[in-house]
Amino acid sequence: MSIFVTQPSIASLEEYVEEIKPIFESKQLTNMGPVYKKLQQQLIDYLQVPELSIFVNGHLALEMGLQAFDFPGGSEVITTPYTFVSTTHAIVRKNLVPVFCDIDPMNYTIDASKIEELITDKTVAIMPVHVYGNLCDVDVIQEIANRHGLKVLYDGAHAFGMKYKGIGVGNFGDMCMYSFHATKVFNTVEGGAIAFKDKRYQLRLHELKNFGIHGEDRVTGIGGNAKLDEFRAAMGICNLRHIDENIAKRKLVAEKYNKLLGEVDGIRIMKLREDISPNYAYYPIYIDPRVFGKSRDDVYDSLMRNDIHARRYFFPATNDLECYTGKFEIQKTPIAHDVSMNILCLPMYADLGLDEVERICNLILQK
Ligand SMILES: *Cc1c(COP(=O)(O)O)cnc(C)c1O
């Protein structure tokens, strides 16, 4: 049987049917109806964030979050190339300029000690990513932002439910995006959200995701359409009931991998920052081919021959993607490139059997 890098965790069909019955009765299918509002409140409670606006996906949440700041076109946003393409595309699609900062070689998040040297008089924001459910250096990043008057928008697509020193990660920065895509720790099939503190963003984001409509006859913003419908919201309510149980199962998978791969020469497992409660979103290994004797691609191929689909994620780094050829000086982020060449995300999901984990590790270690 094929094993993929991830498998969505979904509630039972019976549970879902029960949750969507009221939608058939009310006939309100979308436009921030009662099910949306119920999910919004439940997520505010679970994530322990002051304010939350839910979107149809994480990418549009990022774009509209950026738009809500009203930066002048051509402004610079300091970000990381070691991320999913969405982060970089959101900046470029909002007519802003990404300025790439290199990453920390151990936890793969933006290297906060290298941010300040990239600040110019055009810089308006920092957009870091909580890669693989590992946390950025939020304290140092906030200090830099305060010193230079910059906004901070976190891409927290991988950070659902995580806390740092007991505080929900969505409390750090001006905004934090979450993704509820099918492949993430928590899903609404497709979906996403922005957490924030400043109440003024609530109305602004609400309007941006609804064409900029301000009242029946007034359109005050140039918005788009990024509303989460009631059926997806219902899916979220069902899935949220099982989230703690699913994260606990992911933990067992991660511990099994740690036990089998943690002490192997040439394989580096991820080092989590201290004081965080992890969500075990991904299981990346860094393979040093000179020490391990096999390259990342060798391991990827040998798993593939056994119908196990690991993923080279993130590869290539976003500043090295075809659509950006010639636009950025990729040699300025050497660590991000080295990691993208040697990283492999192993299968990780709540229902992955521990015997399967053992089989995967045996294949990796086979010489
Ligand atoms: C998944 C993801 C996104 C985009 O989220 P969608 O909900 O799929 O639009 C953005 N950034 C990162 C790092 C992601 O992993």
Q: Is 277 exposed, middle or buried (0-12, 13-18, 19+ CB in 10 A)?
A: middle
Q: How far apart are CA 253 and CA 281, in angstroms?
A: 11
- Amino acid 177: pLDDT: 98
Task: Please give the number of the atom of ligand 1 that sits closest to the Cα of 179.
Answer: 7
Six-digit token string for 43: 């997520």
**Ligand 1 binding pocket mutation candidate from 84, 175, 194, 345 (most atoms within 8 A of CB):** 84
**Identity of the amino acid at 184:** K
Would the pTM count as exceeding 0.75?
A: yes
- Amino acid 273: pLDDT: 86
- Total count of residues recorded for the chain: 367
DSSP states of 288-344: -HHHHSS-HHHHHHHHHHTTB--B-TT-S-GGGSGGGTTTS-GGG-HHHHHHHHHEE
- Amino acid 350: pLDDT: 97
Given the structure tokens 């798993």, which residue do they identify? Answer: 303
Closest CA to 179 of 188, 169, 168: 188
Point out which residues pair with 155 in neighbouring strands: 129, 177
Residue 114: helix, strand or coil by DSSP? Answer: helix
Q: Can the peptide bond before residue 316 be classed as cis, meaning omega within 30 degrees of 0?
A: yes
Six-digit token string for 363: 């294949």
pLDDT tens digits for the chain (367 residues)? Answer: 899 999 999 999 999 999 999 999 999 999 999 999 999 999 999 999 999 999 999 999 999 999 999 999 999 999 999 999 999 999 999 999 999 999 999 999 999 999 999 999 999 999 999 999 899 999 999 999 999 999 999 999 999 999 999 999 999 999 999 999 999 999 999 999 999 999 999 999 999 999 999 999 999 999 999 999 999 999 999 999 999 999 999 999 999 999 999 999 999 999 888 899 999 999 999 999 999 999 999 999 999 999 999 999 999 999 999 999 999 999 999 999 999 999 999 999 999 999 999 999 999 999 7
- Amino acid 316: pLDDT: 97
**Ligand 1 binding pocket mutation candidate from 91, 131, 134, 181 (most atoms within 8 A of CB):** 181
Nearest CA to ligand 1 atom 5: 58
Cite the beta strand spans of 110-209 per DSSP E: 123-127, 151-155, 163-164, 167-168, 175-179, 192-196
Ligand 1 contact via 187 beta carbon (within 6 Å): no
Q: How far apart are CA 217 and CA 73, in angstroms?
A: 28
- Amino acid 11: pLDDT: 96
Task: Please give the number of the atom of ligand 1 that sits closest to the Cα of 83.
Answer: 13
State in Å: Cα 315 to ligand 1 middle.
15
Ligand 1 contact via 55 beta carbon (within 6 Å): no
Q: How far apart are CA 236 and CA 108, in angstroms?
A: 29
- Amino acid 348: pLDDT: 98
